[in-house]
Amino acid sequence: MRTETGQVFKLKDYRPTDFVVERIDLTFELDPTQTRVVSRISLQRRDGVAADAELVFDGDELSLEGLQLDGRDIDPALYTATPDTLTIRELPASVPFEITVTTVISPQTNTQLMGLYRTNGVYCTQCEAQGFRRITYFYDRPDVLAVYSVTIIARKSETRYLLSNGNLVSSGSLDEGRHCATWFDPHPKPSYLFALVGGDLGLIEDSFTTMSGREVALKIYVEHGKENRAGYAMDALKRSMKWDEEVYGLEYDLDIFQIVAVSDFNMGAMENKGLNVFNDKYVLADPETATDADYANIEAIIAHEYFHNWTGNRITCRDWFQLCLKEGLTVYRDHTFSADQRSAPVKRIAEIRLLKAHQFPEDAGPLAHPVRPETYREINNFYTATVYEKGSEVVRMIRTILGAEDFRKGMDLYFERHDGDAATIEDFLACFAEASGRDLRQFALWYSQAGTPSVSVSTDWNEAGHTFKVTLEQSLAATPGQPRKALMHIPLAYGLILPDGSEFAGQPSGNDAENGVFHLTRRKQSFTFTGVPERPVLSINRGFSAPVTIAMEQSAADLAHIARHDSDGVARWQALNEQATRYLVEASKLCRDGRNLPSAQKLAEILVATASDESLEPAFRAQALALPAESDIAREIGSNIDPDSIHAARNAVLSEVARFGADVFARLAGAAPEGAYSPSAEDAGKRALAGAALAYAAIADGGPGRAMAAFDAADNMTVLSQALQVLTQSFPAAAETADALTAFRTRFSGDPLALDKWYAIQAMMPGKTTWRRVEELLDSPDFDRSNPNRVRSLIGGFSAGNPTGFNVASGDGYRLLAREVIDIDKRNPQLAARLLTAMRSWRSLEAGRQEQARLALVSIREAANLSPDVSDIVDRMLD
Ligand code: ARG
Ligand code: ZN
């Protein structure tokens, strides 16, 4: 049974449990459909709790097989067990006692992939956020920290390895071909960090010596035959361990660290103490099947989960409202790690793109919620871009406001004060306030107010007086449940760039600016610089110091000046991107009205000049060449959107740039890094530039020949998939494109992760008939609706990555998604709810599409037996 639809959980209702758990000893007898779980829990009534208070444990689709108090069966009159709760009455008032709970569960038929389930024959668990209650009755909440000991018994033939958290204490053989293993984790932890794996897997091993000289065994388990694809993940793990020691002084705390890669997983990965479980997409890579982007994701996610050991596990969350305490902070940590491993500006540009593409629309639509929500119906729906990505931006702003040194002091204080705690955002902020002596109360609004603030900027140059005045004004639109907003503390990094490209070093009047940052805390503030020799150009929100939108009348010439001279690479890209966005927004509107487009010559000149500027790193040049996506343009337009005219306008610009830079692109498209494939950031950057250039060169050619030749010559997946994307995006109807798709399909038929790309690339082909192709693919023999990666590639790729195809005016795209969401929801509500979020911006479409989208949403809302996950999303979207 599931939690009642409509039940709302509130932050302000938090209260601790009546009983305190000290230890939990679990015994699993693994069986596909009859796994027996015996849980012995030592408890004690909390001081001050009434002697007649009942013990209430959580469950989810459970049935109770046995219940004892201190080893003796409990009288059935003294307890009540339903599938989702176990209530026990008349428990000892003052002495510690032990409750033994026995349940029998069926991993084989657990299609939700929450709790204990099977994937390709492997037993594995996912307990965050509330999966443990699908295994046994317990206080399944993050503020209940206990020491776990876990014994696993299973048939040897199907479970070569039996794994759980912590250190292995014993293992041995049993009768009837069975074996067993016992694991002990000395670190008290909440149930969501529990993990168990049993399976016949391949293993790669390594070790790491910590800064204090302890040896840690590192093990990565993968499906047999894939061992040689786990090397990069292992390397990333070692670099992560080292980085956390060097940057934060944080050392690993067990003798063993294990990662298991599984092929059916709802999310990216999970930071279970000492036993991370990963979606295999974020572990497995070799040059033939993984792209450079896959390698970068593996590096980031391996780091992310490892970093959780301190930010998440050693210090966990008091309740799920505090999810950003661990996620926002850990994303911030993995971002800075990747920036250190790769090119910092290029990494930052990718982050900005991602934030704007995923978080800004969330914040602007019906699913908007604060970084720390105050209510939820289904917590799984809050693993969002807002909690993760905006949560990370908030931590980054703390660092900007405090400076590196005080930020580190605050982090040190946080680890020192809260190690072993289930903490809150208030606890976290207090550490930075104390370490720096700053008042962060206004800043804390970033955690409670949803929506993307907007800052309008105006400047005033006084030629005679040599003064330059910058005026900033903030606003924040209403979001669901928050009609009125308070003024925020917005830190905006800036620079004043003089005509010769140098930067003006003087400080503005007043004390609201320091170290190149304006602190906007009131509705409207002005900053006056004096003694400015010549009219400067303002570079504002440099490096995206605050996740806001900027409204400023800045001439194309000024943007070009920033793009050429800003000392900050990210700001140079921002200026380029701003210029391209403006042009594309304007062109889309003209296209819609059937008017001619103005020349994109200026834009083409600057893009081509950047592309061919050898003084810049290739990865940066590739970023510069990537025009704002159709979804970016739509977001900027904001309302009454017609995806077709955006597509047409963007294509027209692509063509003009391609024609203008044809020679440059032809040359760059042929360049490749020397020697054998290396996933290094440097080589990846060269391939990214060549790939971006190939796309333009192919457009300039007007035919698929060059892309097809690149496809045929490719000796790694990065180049192969780049070529296939050029073919499918620019020449969808060409015979060559069909041939390339067939060749790809044949070559990778035995490789699920590579085949996922084949599905995704086709799902994203633009046009009015793609929904038909998607329908055919849904019926193809290897389209497995129970595999989340496959579903996300095809259905997610189509609905979230194909503006013209999904938003076809007939509404066929929406109907397709609605049907699939209803169907998938029966087996995997989390996956279904996630897919549905692709429609979150439906109200910004033009009227006809809006109506089609509404009808599709209503059809979902009216479907029988919707999960709380999907009904929560659909209700919020229709509200
Ligand atoms: N904590 C995981 C991470 O590292 C995410 C797990 C979320 N799982 C879920 N079923 N909601 O980001
Ligand atoms: Zn995380």
Q: For 250-279, what is each residue's pLDDT tens digit?
A: 999 999 999 999 999 999 999 999 999 999
Residue nearest to atom 6 of ligand 1 (CA): 270
Cβ(259)–Cβ(240) under 8 Å?
no
Look at phi and psi of residue 121 and say left if phi exceeds 0, alpha if psi is from -120 to 50, else beta. left
**Residues whose CB falls within 8 Å of the CB of residue 518, separated by 6 or more in sequence, listed in order:** 470, 472, 491, 492, 494, 508, 512, 525, 527
- Phi, psi dihedral angles at 619 (to 5 degrees): -65, -35
Confidence of residue 81 (pLDDT cuts 50, 70, 90): very high
State whether the beta carbon of 804 lies less than 6 angstroms from ligand 1: no
Q: Which amino acid is at 388?
A: Y
For residue 682, the tally of other CB atoms under 10 A from its CB is 13
Structure tokens at 373: 């929500």
Any atom of ligand 1 within 6 Å of the Cβ of 185: no
Q: What digits encode the pLDDT tens for the residues 338-381?
A: 999 999 999 999 999 999 999 999 999 999 999 999 999 999 99
Instruction: Supply the pLDDT for residue 6.
Output: 72
Per-residue pLDDT tens over the stretch 597-610: 999 999 999 999 99
Given a cut of 90, whether residue 193 has pLDDT beyond it is: yes
- State whether the beta carbon of 392 lies less than 6 angstroms from ligand 1: no
| 759 Cβ inside 6 Å of ligand 1 | no
**From residue 318, how far is each of 131, 279, 330, 421, 429 by CA, in Å?**
17, 27, 16, 8, 15
Contact 727, 742 (CB under 8 A): no
The residue nearest atom 9 of ligand 1, judged by CA position, is 128
**Angle value at C-alpha 469, between 466 and 471, nearest 5 degrees:** 175
Residues classed as catalytic: 305
Q: What is the mean pLDDT of the chain?
A: 97
For helices 662-669 and 601-611, angle between their N-to-C axes, nearest 10 degrees: 30
Q: Could you identify the atom of ligand 1 that is nearest to the CA of residue 131? A: 10
Closest by CA position to 469, among listed 514, 509, 430: 509
Other CB atoms within a 10 A radius of the CB of residue 99 amount to: 25
The 10s digit of each residue's pLDDT in 28-69 is 999 999 999 999 999 999 999 999 999 999 999 999 999 999
pLDDT at 1 over 70: no
In SS3 terms, 435-491 reads as HHCCCCCCCCHHHHCCCCCEEEEEEEEECCCCEEEEEEEEECCCECCECCCCCCCEE
380 lines ligand 1 (CB under 6 A): yes
d(CA 131, CA 141): 10
- Residue 510 confidence (pLDDT): 84
Strands 256-262 and 215-222: parallel
Q: Report the pLDDT value the prediction gives residue 3, as an integer from 0 to 100.
A: 44
How many angstroms does the Cα of residue 757 sit away from the middle of ligand 1?
23
- pLDDT at residue 491 tops 50: yes
d(CA 875, CA 403): 42
Q: Position of tokens 């087996």?
A: 827
Atom of ligand 1 nearest to the CA of 308: 4
Alpha carbon of 331 to ligand 1 centroid (Å): 12
Identify whether the C-beta of residue 605 lies closer than 8 Å to the C-beta of residue 656: no
| Apex 171 CA angle, 166 and 176, nearest 5 | 135
Mutation test of ligand 1: which of 117, 128, 330, 379 has the most ligand atoms closer than 8 Å to its C-beta? 128
Inter-residue contact 562 to 510 (CB < 8 Å):
no
Residue among 623, 13, 11, 547 at smallest CA distance from 328: 547
Q: How far is CA 130 from CA 139, 192, 271, 380, 477, in A?
A: 10, 7, 14, 9, 33
Distance CA 258, CA 267 (A): 18
Nearest residue (CA) to ligand 1, atom 8 = 128
- What pLDDT does residue 511 have? 86
Beta pairing, strands 79-82 & 256-262: unpaired
Would you say the CB of residue 577 lies under 6 angstroms from ligand 1? no
pLDDT of residue 5: 54
Among protein residues, the one whose CA lies closest to atom 4 of ligand 1 = 270
Q: Which atom of ligand 1 is nearest to the CA of 270?
A: 2
Q: Which of 182, 281, 123, 274 is nearest to 760 (CA)?
A: 281
**656-709 per-position pLDDT tens digit:** 999 999 999 999 999 999 999 999 999 999 999 999 999 999 999 999 999 999
Ligand 2: distance of its center to the CA of 787 in Å?
21
- In whole angstroms, give the CA distance from residue 716 to residue 723: 11
Query: Tell me: the pLDDT tens digits for 414-442?
Result: 999 999 999 999 999 999 999 999 999 99
> Which residues partner with 496 through β-bridges?
538
Q: In terms of Cα–Cα distance, which of 705, 625, 718 is closest to 664?
A: 625
- Please give the Cα distance from 52 to 423 (Å, whole number): 29
Give the number of other CB atoms < 10 A from CB of residue 511: 8
Which ligand 1 atom is the nearest neighbour of the CA of 388?
A: 12
- Supply angle C-alpha 763, 381, 165, rounded to 5: 100
Q: Is the CB of 305 under 6 A from ligand 1?
A: yes
Average pLDDT over residues 166-187: 98
